[in-house]
């Protein structure tokens, strides 16, 4: 569940300036809608019944480069949206696994508007058990359900990751090759179903008219002691207009699992990725790093003093960059200080470069199959 743009040039006319701003949405790292979020990035998204002016602006949506598609909590959505149906006219419901749990809820269609951009009549997930309260065991085996505001510390998730849909060809297949994300739910109970690629929950960005090949997230540097909140921008499109050029950003291409390599303490870890939806830098374990685990904050490191570290990121194309970061004592952090650049641990197979990686950087996310001046996605660049 885890920047942003080259400096925009000023255009000569007010209409051109407005057009440039239409692809930029403000983002903020703060305590969020629960007043309890730590290192979570939020934006406002407008959801509309397809083809109508019946719309709702929803703030406190988590911006996540580690997933794909819009997911809105049913408890905050006041609109009636058309339900997607499958075999026999039964409702389609999705179980989407994340690292720390899963979201369960129906697939419905909506117009999605962000800043001046719009994706018309695309499938989204409405998260919650109010309509389909019995979650099948094949879904609950994915971990802990994340169905409420307190579960997510957000009103929903905006997945603006590397792909155009949240599953791909696998979910369109029958048999054991299907990962089992989509279900049809007749009155007799929910069963795994096939789901055509175009019917899967979609990355809204890939459906924008022009600025549809990726996003750029830009956040300022955070003081060592943290900050109560920080503000930045998310810009849509890469190289599609004057305010989203790649410039001198390094491009990191990915393997067939959409991962790159991280070299740390002489060892190479190939299961590495960048994720604005993760609230820390999750890497390895205490036995490997020598950093002590927290007593109160499970999965985090808690060294007695701020510990400077560094690692080298390496793309499949051989491009490298040394990244300096810190490991701090998370148990000493007040939850309202959400912008602390903390390093955290519990990913023994590699590095999850979470939101602290974005601080002080301009990070580009290029979508698979979409053409950019830096080549065809997917890739990361900064």
Q: What is the pLDDT of residue 4?
A: 27
What residue ranges of the chain have pLDDT lower than 70?
Answer: 1-20, 333-348
Q: Which domains does the chain have, with CATH numbers?
A: 23-207 (2.40.70), 239-381 (2.40.70)
pLDDT value at position 13?
34
The pLDDT, as a whole number, for residue 304 is 87
Q: What is the pLDDT of residue 238?
A: 98
3-state secondary structure of 149: helix
Residue 279 corresponds to which tokens in the numbers above? Answer: 């609230």
pLDDT at 328: 84
According to the model, what pLDDT value does residue 354 have? 94
CA angle 346, 256, 348 (to 5 degrees): 15
**CA 70/CA 141 separation, integer angstroms:** 23
Question: Residue 283 forms beta bridges with which residues?
Answer: 351
User: What's the pLDDT at 10?
Assistant: 28
For residue 120, report the phi and psi dihedrals to the nearest 5 degrees: -95, 130
Q: Among residues 166, 135, 152, which one has the least CA distance to residue 61?
A: 152
The pLDDT assigned to 350 comes to: 85
pTM value? 0.92
* Token output for 346: 């519990």
Alpha-carbon separation of residue 45 from 96, 130, 309, 354, 372 (angstroms): 20, 22, 36, 22, 25
Note the pLDDT of residue 300: 85
């Amino acid at each position: 569940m885890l920047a942003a743009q080259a400096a925009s040039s000023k255009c000569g006319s007010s209409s051109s300036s407005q057009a440039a701003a239409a692809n930029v949405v403000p983002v903020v790292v703060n305590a969020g809608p629960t007043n309890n979020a730590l290192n979570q990035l939020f934006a406002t998204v407008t959801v509309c019944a397809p083809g109508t002016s019946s719309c709702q602006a929803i703030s406190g949506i988590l911006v996540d480069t580690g997933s794909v598609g819009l997911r809105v909590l049913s408890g905050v959505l006041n609109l009636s949206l058309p339900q997607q149906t499958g075999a026999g006219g039964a409702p389609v419901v999705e179980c989407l696994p994340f690292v720390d749990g899963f979201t369960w809820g129906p697939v419905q269609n909506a117009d999605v508007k962000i800043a001046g951009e719009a994706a018309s009549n695309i499938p989204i997930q409405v998260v919650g058990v109010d309509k389909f309260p019995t979650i099948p065991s094949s879904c609950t085996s994915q971990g802990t359900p994340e169905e409420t505001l307190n579960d997510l510390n957000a009103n929903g998730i905006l997945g603006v990751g590397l792909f155009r849909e949240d599953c791909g060809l696998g979910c369109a297949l029958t048999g054991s090759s299907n990962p089992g994300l989509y279900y049809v739910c007749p009155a007799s109970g929910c069963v795994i179903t096939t789901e055509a690629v175009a019917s899967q929950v979609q990355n809204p960005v890939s459906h924008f008219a022009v600025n549809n090949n990726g996003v750029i997230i830009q956040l300022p540097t955070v003081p060592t002691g943290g900050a109560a909140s920080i503000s930045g921008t998310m810009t849509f499109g890469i190289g599609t207009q004057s305010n989203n050029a790649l410039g001198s950003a390094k491009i990191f291409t990915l393997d067939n699992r959409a991962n790159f390599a991280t070299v740390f303490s002489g060892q190479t870890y190939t299961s590495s990725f960048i994720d604005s939806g993760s609230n820390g830098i999750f890497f390895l374990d205490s036995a490997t790093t020598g950093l002590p685990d927290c007593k109160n904050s499970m999965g985090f490191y808690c060294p007695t003093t701020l510990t400077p570290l560094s690692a080298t990121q390496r793309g499949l194309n051989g491009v490298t960059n040394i990244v300096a970061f810190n490991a701090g004592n998370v148990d000493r952090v007040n939850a309202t200080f959400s912008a602390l650049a903390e390093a955290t641990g519990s990913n023994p197979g590699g590095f999850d470069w979470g939101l602290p990686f974005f601080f002080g950087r301009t990070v580009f996310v290029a979508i698979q199959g979409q053409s950019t001046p830096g080549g065809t996605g997917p890739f990361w660049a900064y």
